[in-house]
Amino acid sequence: MEYLSSSLSGTESFAQKTYDSVKKHHSKTATVVGLFGELGSGKTTFVQFLTKTMGIKGPITSPTFVIEKIYQTNESSGFKNFIHIDAYRIQSTEEIVLLGWDNLVSRPENIIVVEWADRIESVLPKDTIRIYFSHVNETTRKIETKHVR
Identified binder of ligand ADP from the candidate list 8, 56, 67, 90, rule CB under 6 A: 8
- d(CA 77, CA 100) in angstroms, rounded, equals 24
Burial bucket for residue 17 (CB in 10 Å: 0-12, 13-18, 19+)? middle
Contact 131, 50 (CB under 8 A): no
- d(CA 97, CA 25) in angstroms, rounded, equals 25
Which of Mg ion, ligand ADP, none sits in contact with 139, Cβ below 5 to 8 A by type?
ligand ADP
Task: Tell me the closest approach of the beta carbon of residue 36 to Mg ion, in angstroms.
Answer: 12
Q: Assign 1 to helix, strand or coil.
A: coil
Closest to Mg ion by CB, 40 vs 100, is 40
- d(CA 63, CA 65) in angstroms, rounded, equals 6
Closest to ligand ADP by CB, 78 vs 85, is 85
Q: Does 141 bind ligand ADP (CB under 6 A)?
A: yes
Q: Does 51 bind ligand ADP (CB under 6 A)?
A: no
Q: Does 39 bind ligand ADP (CB under 6 A)?
A: yes
Burial bucket for residue 144 (CB in 10 Å: 0-12, 13-18, 19+)? middle
Which of Mg ion, ligand ADP, none sits in contact with 67, Cβ below 5 to 8 A by type?
none
Question: Which spans of this chain sit near ligand ADP (rule: CB under 6 A)?
Answer: 5, 7-8, 10-11, 37, 39-45, 115, 133, 139-141
Question: Which spans of this chain sit near Mg ion (rule: CB under 5 A)?
Answer: 43-44, 62, 115
